[in-house]
Amino acid sequence: MRFQFLSRLAVSPTLRRAARAYKDAWKLFYFWPLPALRKSRFAKLGVDRREPLGVAEINLASECKCRHTSHYVPLTRETIRQLTASNGDTSTARLFGATAAVSELDTFADFDAWRVQVSRATSGKYHRSANKARRMGYSARVVGFNSCHRSVYELTGSKFRRSKGLPVWAALIAPPATLVDTKKPPVAPVCPEHWRYCWGAFKTTGAGEKLVASAILVRAGNTVWIQRFIGHGDALKDGVTKLLIFDIMQWLLARAEPGTQGIRYLLHGSIEEGDDGLFDWKRYLGFKPMLLDSAHAS
């Protein structure tokens, strides 16, 4: 059951700030202590904790002076700041810091090389799952930024709890009436090195199409990171998230557009965050713990 009157409160900036603070605190303490999680997850990944981790040389701005650097560079810097805390030089960092989950895109010649690695890790399960979703009438494509606002709200609220453990407020609060799907078409980014792409997965039926999964990717310099990746609770069993990530990786690794060329790293949050389901998802997709060298991140 969702409450309409709460939707008026949900647009209050003060309440949104409070909700963000609550979310940050929750993320920190729900899965705490992080060192214990790190130990068990590194062991599952076969990472020897006595050996230094590989280092990702993040370069956010390179030589580019486009106006988008002022938006995507600070946004990315803020994200990686949360992920470099476990570089391990202080006990506070070890206790509260998280380790970046990174896929080194430049080590894959093409999408097929990536797919083979995922199929090996999952005994073909993820590939079959993506194909099953396709057969069932699901498809994925780039969509306009914020063009599916109301649908994203609906799919977010389709599960009361998600992999990060948080109660989902969209499951309790009805969407504000002002929240609509504009269905604006996507606009090609001005700069190939600084952009944000929104992806949507849809179920097509005789009655039209319905958004069932959504992802946002942000690029700054040589790094792309996943800002959002979420599926509708009812469509997860059909393999819709696998279809979406396969199509995104195919697009990234085809390197057919200027915006997908020159990418070295794909970041997907941290190794420690979320439940075991989220960790396994990253593990099977080949994300591994790395230190982030952000010396070039400004």
Q: Which residues bind Zn ion (CB under 5 A)?
A: 64, 66, 191, 193-194
* In the complex, minimum distance from the CB of residue 145 to Zn ion, in angstroms, rounded to a whole number: 17
DSSP 8-state code for residue 181 = -
* In the complex, minimum distance from the CB of residue 190 to Zn ion, in angstroms, rounded to a whole number: 8
Of 54 and 258, nearer to Zn ion (C-beta) is 258
* In the complex, minimum distance from the CB of residue 68 to Zn ion, in angstroms, rounded to a whole number: 5
* In the complex, minimum distance from the CB of residue 64 to Zn ion, in angstroms, rounded to a whole number: 4
Q: In what order do the strands lie in the sheet with 100-104?
A: 55-59, 288-296, 100-104, 265-270, 223-231, 208-220, 194-205, 138-143
Alpha-carbon gap, residue 100 to 121, rounded angstroms: 20
Cβ–Cβ < 8 Å for 230, 216: no
* In the complex, minimum distance from the CB of residue 101 to Zn ion, in angstroms, rounded to a whole number: 25
Q: What sign for the dihedral angle of Cα 102, 289, 268, 277?
A: positive
Own/partner contacts of 279-286, CB < 8 Å, gap of 24 or more, are 279/41, 279/44, 281/163, 281/241, 282/101, 283/44, 283/45, 283/121, 284/118, 284/121, 284/122, 284/126, 285/103, 285/118, 285/121, 285/126, 285/245, 286/103, 286/114, 286/117, 286/118, 286/121
Of 193 and 272, nearer to Zn ion (C-beta) is 193
Q: For residue 179, what are the CA distances in angstroms to 7, 101, 149, 263, 272?
A: 10, 33, 6, 34, 33
DSSP 8-state code for residue 170 = G
* In the complex, minimum distance from the CB of residue 222 to Zn ion, in angstroms, rounded to a whole number: 12
Alpha-carbon gap, residue 220 to 42, rounded angstroms: 28
Alpha-carbon gap, residue 4 to 143, rounded angstroms: 28
As given in the structure block, the two tokens for residue 220 are: 């700054």
Of 48 and 63, nearer to Zn ion (C-beta) is 63
Of 205 and 298, nearer to Zn ion (C-beta) is 298
Nearest residue to 220 (alpha-carbon basis) of 58, 7, 103: 58
* In the complex, minimum distance from the CB of residue 194 to Zn ion, in angstroms, rounded to a whole number: 4
| DSSP three-state, residue 185 | coil
* In the complex, minimum distance from the CB of residue 103 to Zn ion, in angstroms, rounded to a whole number: 22
Of 193 and 238, nearer to Zn ion (C-beta) is 193
Of 193 and 247, nearer to Zn ion (C-beta) is 193
Of 45 and 191, nearer to Zn ion (C-beta) is 191
Of 223 and 241, nearer to Zn ion (C-beta) is 223
